[in-house]
Chains A and B, each alone.
Chain A
Amino acid sequence: MSLRTVAGAVFRREMQLFARRKSDWANPIVFFLIVCSLFPFAVGSESEKLKLIGIGVIFVGALLSAMLSLPRLFDDDARDGSLELMLASSEPLAVLILARITALSLGLGAALTIAAPVFALFYALPFAVAGMLALSVAMAVPTLLLIGAIAAALLVSARGGAILTAVLVLPLTIPTLIFGAGAALKVFYGEPPAAELALQGAFLLLALALCPLAAAAALKISTD
């Protein structure tokens, strides 16, 4: 049995669960919608002001709602014992974790990427900016999930894990936030966003290289 088969099985199961439990992606989207629609009530409805804050609000909203699904990465499996199947597998745990994060990134990432430009139109942002927001959300969600996997692994089935996960993960997403929202702002001001996108991509690649290994180590520590 090759690594590819095992990683494929992990990926497929995650996708099956995603399709089976609609609340996994419906809840983050509804949360995202509510966050985005609360801000205009608070700051007033002047469209120039809304346009400026809209980019930031949508980006932060997307990150927060992606974070909501972090506990489900390992907690359910720890409760029903299927986490042990993964831990006891002879294939490298980091690769299996990466397979899960990839599946979650595709599912949740796609949902948030579709939602973000729609919500951008609520804020009367131009189409070009909405498109750039979609692109930078598409890059930011996997980064957040990769970083978050470490926290989720450390806090697997810990009490108050959700809040602690937020406390651990959100500071680490600041670079992604700066460059992701920055890229959309650049487009808003009519400047080329290449530098921001490149840096955001670099963070994604860095997370891709390091986080699965760290999450695997964390998971082994917390379940031993």
Chain B
Amino acid sequence: MGRIQGARRIVSLCANLRLEALAAERGGKAVFADVNVDVAAGTLLRVIGPNGAGKTTLLRILAGLGAASAGSARWCGADAVEYRASEAAIFAGHASAMNDALTVAENLSYAAALAGFDSSSSDVRRAMSQLGVEKLINRRFGSLSQGQRKRASLARLLLRTQPGERAWLLDEPFVALDTDTQAQLASLISQELAAGAIVVLTSHQSVTINALKIQELTL
């Protein structure tokens, strides 16, 4: 959702993600500390680290779902306006965020509304057809196969009104995807980066993603 400034609606929000001395703890134990990184628009940030290094914790902090124990994570617009994480990024974690009893279309339009996109059913259809699963749109999510579930839940990322509108925070997005879908997701990520979005990604798989700017963050 863009901030209205005068008559101009800014579509791409986040020119910059800045982590300063960021630290997190889980159950009273420090997970990581003193993370400093500055990410510009159109950059792919790969978060690397062994299990338990706090990759998911970091993504949750960036998404505004968790609190940092010290330091700050700031999403800044081109005009140096600071945005809330909820306005700046979409988080896709391990879970599908889809209810089994509802249809794919119902799930997606709910997700779109909560993310602040004014998505109509045609936006949902477009997102689904971009992933090649348009025919699943009126099926109940619970009746889909695992691969179809994965694809349908990826459609949530594409509900934005314009590419590059939100940063993507992807937690192990390639897990349980077949090679076709992996390639498809990789190209979607490239497109989003080209449109000026920041994509933060944790992954154990080495999937090639075409990006002009790649940064790595080791936890």
Measured CB to CB, the residues of A under 8 A from B are 1, 5-6, 8-10, 12-13, 16-17, 20-21, 76-77, 79-82, 84-91, 96, 223-224
Q: Which of B84, B99, B106, B109 has the most CB of A within 10 A?
A: B99
Pick from B97, B117, B118: contact of A82, CB under 8 Å: B97
B residues less than 8 Å from A8 (CB atoms): 113
Pick from B63, B85, B86, B101: contact of A20, CB under 8 Å: B101
Q: How large is the interface on B (under 10, 10 to 19, 20 to 34, 35 or more residues)?
A: 20 to 34
- In B83-113, which residues have CB < 8 Å from any A CB? 84-87, 91, 93-102, 106-107, 109-111, 113
Does B71 count as interface, using CB distance less than 8 angstroms? no
Measured CB to CB, the residues of B under 8 A from A are 1, 63-67, 84-87, 91, 93-102, 106-107, 109-111, 113-118
A residues less than 8 Å from B93 (CB atoms): 81, 84
- Chain A contact residues: over half helix, strand or loop, or mixed? helix
Contacts A1-B1, A80-B95, A224-B67 known; A86 to B100 CB distance under 8 Å?
Answer: no
Pairwise interchain contact A89-B97, C-beta atoms closer than 8 A: no
A residues less than 8 Å from B114 (CB atoms): 6, 9-10, 85-86, 88-89, 91, 96
Given contacts A82-B98, A224-B66, 4 further A-B contacts (CB under 8 A): A9-B114, A84-B93, A86-B114, A96-B114
Give the docked Cα–Cα distance between A12 and B91 (Å).
Answer: 23
Pick from B67, B86, B95: contact of A89, CB under 8 Å: B86
A residues less than 8 Å from B110 (CB atoms): 9-10, 12-13, 82, 85
Give the docked Cα–Cα distance between A76 and B99 (Å).
Answer: 8
Give the docked Cα–Cα distance between A5 and B1 (Å).
Answer: 13
Pick from A5, A79, A82, A224: contact of B113, CB under 8 Å: A5
Rounded to whole Å, the gap between the CB of B109 and the closest CB of chain A is 7
Contacts A13-B102, A20-B101, A76-B99 known; A89 to B109 CB distance under 8 Å?
Answer: no
Pairwise interchain contact A80-B98, C-beta atoms closer than 8 A: yes
A residues less than 8 Å from B113 (CB atoms): 1, 5-6, 8-9
Pick from A10, A88, A91: contact of B91, CB under 8 Å: A88
